[in-house]
Amino acid sequence: MVLRYRQHIMTSELPGLIFDEAYEKRIEDQVYDHGVSLSANGRKIVGLYCAFTPKEIVAAAGGIPVSLCAGSEDPFLVAERHLPANLCPLIKSSYGHAAADTCPYFHMTDFLLADATCDGKKKMFELLSRLRPLHLLLLPQSAEAPESLGVWEQEIKKAAAFLEKMTGNAVTDDNLSRQIRIYNRLRGAVESVFALNKGQIPQVYGSEITRIISSGGFECDPGAHIARIRSAVEKIRGRAKEKAFAAQMKKRPRIFLTGCPTTNKKVLFLIEQSGGAVVAMETCGGLKTVGNKVDETLPPLHALAEKYLGTACACMTPNTGRLDLIENLVKDFQADGVIELTWTACHTYNVEAFSVKERVENTCEIPYMQMLTDYSENDMGQLETRIQAFLEILS
């Protein structure tokens, strides 16, 4: 299994697989070519690093958002010329690809929007600003403090002003409202993919979910992305009618994956290759960010501030909203067990794992396991053994 991962045959042995690496690569190529074409015609490419940044304001300014968090250990040596070796792998990978100019998406960016979330990212952004113009949104440390919403709304206004300056386009209420409606439709489409796993028998692999909901890099045409998601949902519903596929999915333990962003897919890969079914993911890019839509009845900037401040990230204190979200999703998706992914040196999620374990075991009354790892392949065998033992308990 470890060898198959190293050869990048990520999910080739999953029975009935439809959405594989070839599908993902095909979409990425199409979207990248489209983004390059639009950039050549004057559209600005805006790099983003966190789920707190409202993509709606980028699109309202005529920019093209692209998420730049990276999942490979390849650029670590370059990153460690400027960053500590014991820093979070997500931060090192993101910075290393930028510094080495080995990420085609970063290469195409005109400027960056970033959020002051964890300390590691905040300080890394200081170095990254030497490579591209960068605007940092100063995120409040608490979403529950009464003054936080007003502070965050002002930060979004500053980001909108920065975008206007860099693109030459006005961020109007009409443009914002239009983009809010579009991105709400996109959130609904993403939710429809996850919803396929709410029934008695899961219908889609977690690895397929990540490929289906991925924008392919540049978010230059959300409407086309929504159409792709809806087409994928129909194909999955058709596959679910096959008795052999339903039978093998029924016997797989249902795993709820939480924790750090799944920028590196090795834990997701091991869970499903070991016989589990990742029925839902609360991680960034998953149900944490798509569940609450922007209120289309409110003034657009205020509505965006309200929605994005509610992102249940471990950088917030307190973060009881995440515990409540996990509890509700575990019930909705009938999870048999919870696996929490924690990247090494991600102190916020690592500390919060204690509270998640308590909630899962004491309130949800199902088994919990934390996977503390990095982007290296050195621990693949150990992780595989632990996951297989955990799945045996659930079976």
CB atoms under 10 Å from CB of 208, counted, come to 25
CA–CA separation, 157 and 159 (whole Å):
5
Instruction: Examine the pLDDT at 9 and tell me if it is beyond 70.
Output: no
- The pLDDT tens digits for 185-207 are 999 999 999 999 999 999 999 99
CA–CA separation, 92 and 71 (whole Å):
10
The whole-model pTM stands at 0.95
Residue holding tokens 């899962």? 360
Q: Write out the two tokens for 85.
A: 């070796």
How much is the average pLDDT of 53-80? 96
Helix ranges (H only) for 89-221 are: 89-100, 104-108, 119-128, 148-167, 173-195, 206-213
CB–CB of 293/184 below 8 Å?
yes
Mean pLDDT of the chain: 95
Element (H, E) at 373: strand 368-373
Q: How far is CA 307 from CA 152, 156, 295, 300, 387, in A?
A: 11, 12, 8, 11, 35
Instruction: Examine the pLDDT at 2 and tell me if it is beyond 50.
Output: no
Q: Burial, 394: exposed, middle or buried (Cβ in 10 Å; 0-12, 13-18, 19+)?
A: middle
For 10-19, 131-140, 323-332, which range has the lowest pLDDT when averaged over its residues?
10-19
For 10-19, 39-48, 74-83, 171-180, which range has the lowest pLDDT when averaged over its residues?
10-19
How much is the average pLDDT of 360-371? 98
How much is the average pLDDT of 159-170? 98
Instruction: Examine the pLDDT at 50 and tell me if it is beyond 80.
Output: yes
CA–CA separation, 230 and 219 (whole Å):
17
Q: What percent of the chain has pLDDT over 70?
A: 97
Coil, strand or helix at 385: helix
- pLDDT band, residue 285 (cuts 50/70/90): confident
Identity of residue 138:
L
Q: Which domains does the chain have, with CATH numbers?
A: 2-394 (3.40.50.11900)
CA–CA separation, 306 and 96 (whole Å):
33
CA–CA separation, 232 and 234 (whole Å):
5
- The pLDDT tens digits for 103-130 are 999 999 999 999 999 999 999 999 999 9
- pLDDT band, residue 12 (cuts 50/70/90): low
CA–CA separation, 390 and 386 (whole Å):
6
Coil, strand or helix at 339: strand
Instruction: Examine the pLDDT at 47 and tell me if it is beyond 70.
Output: yes
How much is the average pLDDT of 71-93? 97
Smallest CA-to-CA distance from 175 within 62, 339, 20 is with 62
Identity of residue 189:
A
Q: CA geometry: angle at 286 spanning 285 and 292, to 5°?
A: 100
254 forms beta bridges with 277
Smallest CA-to-CA distance from 306 within 104, 173, 140, 76 is with 140
pLDDT at 291: 82
- The pLDDT tens digits for 287-345 are 999 988 999 999 999 999 999 999 999 999 999 999 999 999 999 999 999 999 999 99
